[in-house]
Amino acid sequence: MERSDVLNLGAGPSALPESVLQEAAKGLLNYNGTGMGITEISHRSKEFQALTTELGTKIRELLDVPATHEILFIQGGASLQFSAIVLNLLSRFKLLHPEVPSNETYIDYVVTGVWSKKAFEEGKRLAGSVGVNVNIAADARPHSRDGKSFDNIPPHSAYQLSPRAQTAFVYYCENETVNGVQFASSQAMTTSFPLRMLEDSIDPPIVADFSSSFLSRPIPNIGSYGMIYGGAQKNVGPAGLTILIVRKDLLVDVDEAHKLGAPVVPLTLSFKTLADHSSLYNTPPMFSMYVALLVIKDILVRGGLGPLEEDNYQKQETIYAALDKLESAGVIRLNVTPGSRSWMNVTFTFIDSTNETSFLKAAEEKGLRGVKGHRSVGGFRISLYNAITKENADTVARFLTGFLEPSKSH
């Protein structure tokens, strides 16, 4: 089977542009005329230091990241940040407010799906163990159709934030890959994250996981965030790289904070350590960073995030329109309510489960891969990351609507 015979609709690691992969293959053999591959050169070499600098510069240009924020690169995947964020920001809070005891300190989580729930659970495990109050400031489940599912973004009126002066940070996940739920990017929408509730102050810092939507569209008001982070393996590059955009006042001396009673922070998880060493404290995920740079250059050549946002909007419109027809015919149910649906991860379930086998078989025959839903929720999921073209989306939509007639006979 050839690459052209397959369309990777998996949730990640995801498809990458073929032109980028071809260029990356060259770099594996001979990076920039060094006579060595990118996985063979030293991360201390001037060539790789230049790559690291250029990658940060290009991300800053693409997202319009202000000078108030550092751009850092780290191993460990986005899930590692569930722990690192808690430890670093508790350290910062302790340095700022040494007089506030742990039992009067708060961390707020907005829980809208599997990944924000996991982040909350890790926050409760780490911060809760030292007496910090770890709260769910807004929970999507009570607002769901069945009262227990992650099928929506809660309205602004549902937020119950802890006292600002006692809160170390507020956390949310912008796009829930498993559940197919995404915050709106416009503050005019009730399904956006309510930045206006916190915009008058840098405290508490807003922390957002953008892993599965990173570089799929602009991030409005990016300077309002204390920290944005994302794993690379959706829209940016291979697994292994996590990109952190961290406001400089969040880069604190964790050892000084520990002297005041904050938890010990491993140096490899310290944001300040990472920044002080220009993301080269230890060997970073070099190949992933190289491919990320190639991907970002490709986005810039194609006009940046504006045209990409329009393409991604059209792609999801195409797929949801096809699924709406199946839903109207009583064949499937879209898992997420209108206004909260992800552009990146479209999730649905068959009303009659006997259709699942025939759908998977037909998808396989068509060369569509990675359409099964996450094992924790079941159903089906079509992921529309940047490398999926509008033409690819049209192909998938034709497949979906073509499945309508056969489904009626099941």
- Within 13 Å, how many C-alpha atoms sit on residue 34's CB side? 18
- Angle between the 390-402 and 305-328 helix axes, to the nearest 10 degrees? 0
Other CB atoms within 10 Å distance of the CB of residue 297: 16
Cα–Cα distances in Å, from 51 out to 38, 284, 292?
10, 12, 10
234 catalytically annotated: yes
- Cα–Cα distance, 176 to 190 (Å, whole number): 17
State the catalytic residue, choosing from 58, 94, 115, 139.
115
State the catalytic residue, choosing from 117, 124, 234, 272.
234
Cα–Cα distances in Å, from 376 out to 155, 343, 373?
26, 21, 8
State the catalytic residue, choosing from 108, 139, 151, 209.
209
259 catalytically annotated: no
- Cα–Cα distance, 115 to 149 (Å, whole number): 14
Question: Do 335 and 98 touch, CB atoms closer than 8 A?
Answer: no
Which of 199, 233, 227, 189 has its CA nearest to residue 215? 233
- Cα–Cα distance, 175 to 93 (Å, whole number): 27
Which residues participate in catalysis according to the annotation? 115, 209, 234
